[in-house]
Chains A and B, each alone.
Chain A
Amino acid sequence: MNVPVENYLVLAALIFAIGCAGVLTRRNFIVILMSVELMLNAVNLTFVALSRQLVSMDGQMIVFFVMTVAAAEVAVGLAIFLAIYSQRRTVNADEISLLRW
């Protein structure tokens, strides 16, 4: 069975949109970070699908780097969450609002 590339691209676009929606609507920073990771996974799916379509390895290669960067981002993110949590006992977006107008 041969799945056309459009299907992958549409699926990736949907996942990306779900990630965006998650970032915008969720209030817990850990869930927000997970939504960002979802966006990056949509990117990976797009790259892999296009890579097969174009018969070029560039797309597959970049996916490895995107995954590594995503892992690094999570590591830094969780470290910051820990610092925040030890100060305020919360990682809720509504309660972290020292910096305003």
Chain B
Amino acid sequence: MEPSALGNVASLAYSLPEIVLGAAVVLLFLLDLVVTRKETLGDVALVTLALVVVLSARLLWGDSAALYNGAVVVDGFALFFKLLLALAAFATVWMSLGSREIQKNGTGEYWAVLLASTLGLLFMASSTNLLMAYLALEFVSLTSYVLSGFMRHSRRASEASLKYLIYGGVASGTMIYGMSWVYGLAGSLDFRAIHTALMSGQGAALPLYVALLLTLAGLGYKVAAFPFHMWAPDVYQGAPIPVTAFLAVGSKAAGFALMIRFFFTAMAQSVGAGVYQLVGGVDWSQLILVLSMVTMTFGNLAAVAQQGNVKRLLAYSSIAHAGYMLMGFAVLNDDGLRAMLFYLTVYYLMNLGAFVVVMLVANSTGREDLAGYRGLAWRGGALPAVAMAIFLFSLTGLPPLAGFVGKFYLFAAVVEKQLYLLAVVGVLNSVVSLVYYARIVRTMFLEQPTGGEGVVAVDWHNGLLLGLLTIGTLVLGVAWGPLIDFAGRSTHFLAY
């Protein structure tokens, strides 16, 4: 019952999604030299990602295995995230194909860099080694800097990219410093070996605590949790809208994947029945609990104060949602993890949907401020306005939408663990969030257009994506059974 890690050649069969993605990146760079119609490259990227989804799904029926001498694994948890991340990238490419911002700056590298970033995300979801984790995270970071500064002639985008680079450099530098301490205390870079060392009582508690705090800086920055969130509003506002959506959904999910795997496999011990126990004498679940409360409260209060730019408002909302999802992390059992995975999927649908609507409005009118949404329902944009209302109420957590089910499972896990303070803070925050979500809905429906806003048109291409995301949000609100079962099965880590 102790399968060892596979060697390099034997691992290849399990890495088909990554191989296809890597080959596509190279192919796209080459095609860019010969193809003149750049949308073709986008179509290639779309087909590649569909293939990656299929290949990852196929692995669900195979065995779990540790690959490349223990650098990465394929297990239920990694595959859940691979599917989610590939789908997030798929939707991003679809969005980019219909985005005027991207088309105006149309060069072929965009698609290659986007796929490269996705490759990094897949590795983040499956790495079981500090070196691999660091490299995957940096790979995603570097490609994200390029993507967010992609509109080279936009002053706003360059500034966003610059701020992202500086914050990212500091956060990942701090993280790798923390990792160097973990290495010194546990004597290894491998998650399992770190776990074994900590179980045997190696490593003093105080330095380990400091090391964890430092490591948390890099991971917290990826998921935009409180003290490391500063980049999010600026980057979300400045980056092209599809890239913003990609960062909000993809990077956040991968950040959570890496965070969960590191803390649950290296810093905790499964004691059966889906319950985990801390090892190494560091009470990090208490730390995450405080972080969760502060993050959601800060995100929501800042969003309430935010009056102007809708993308910036969604950035604060995404910080708040990082806080909600951390609740499932703090309870330290499989129920919490299952709730987190479920919520991440739901969040993917509703948040991406909201960004599609933002993109539709920006495509037609070039505006991203709240005033640009005045009377949206009465000037050709009835479909996006209704869809936006559904997404925003789902983000608030109102029944019968998917967001309600997601929050229900999160709160259930928290209450079951008797963390009543956290539950109360979470519920209060949901109420506060209604203020700013409802403000957008009111602007779209109850205010009349003054005439200067322009007509919002919906083409079939973007309309179809919007329709699919809306249906997903509605269906998961009433028939969540299969997904929650799948999430429940995916909370198992390979103990090789």
Contact = CB atoms under 8 A, between A and B. Distances in A.
Interface in A66-101: 66, 69, 72-73, 76-77, 80-81, 83-84, 87-88, 96, 98-99, 101
B189 interface: yes
Most chain B beta-carbon neighbours within 10 Å: one of A56, A80, A83: A80
A72 to B, nearest CB: 6
A65 B165 contact: no
Interface residues of B, number: 39
B177 interface: yes
Interface residues of A, number: 40
A77 B163 CA distance: 10
B255 to A, nearest CB: 17
A19 B187 CA distance: 26
Nearest to A45: B180
Given A54-B184, A87-B158, A99-B163, A77 B169 contact: yes
Interface string B152-169: 110110111111011001
Contacts of B188: 56, 58
A98 B169 contact: no
Contacts of B163: 99
A29 B164 CA distance: 12
A29 B163 CA distance: 10
B165 A80 contact: yes
B165 A77 contact: yes
B467 interface: no
Interface stretch (B13-21, B104-112, B141-149, B351-359): B141-149
B180 A46 contact: yes
B421 interface: no
B177 A42 contact: yes
Nearest to B167: A23
A96 B166 contact: no
Given A47-B183, A83-B152, A99 B238 contact: yes
Given A39-B177, A50-B184, A54-B187, A61 B162 contact: no
Interface string A27-51: 0010011001001101100110010
Contact of B176 (A61, A66, A87): A66
Contacts of B152: 83
Nearest to A23: B170
Given A29-B162, A58-B188, A80-B158, A69 B135 contact: yes
B131 interface: yes
B173 interface: yes
B391 interface: no
B10 to A, nearest CB: 22
A16 B234 CA distance: 26
Contacts of A77: 145, 165, 169
B155 A50 contact: no
B439 to A, nearest CB: 17
B237 interface: yes
Given A59-B183, A88-B155, A98-B159, A36 B177 contact: no
Contacts of B169: 33, 36, 73, 77
21 contacts: A29-B166, A33-B166, A40-B173, A46-B184, A50-B180, A50-B183, A50-B184, A54-B183, A58-B131, A62-B130, A66-B134, A69-B138, A72-B142, A77-B165, A80-B165, A81-B162, A83-B152, A83-B158, A84-B159, A84-B162, A99-B163
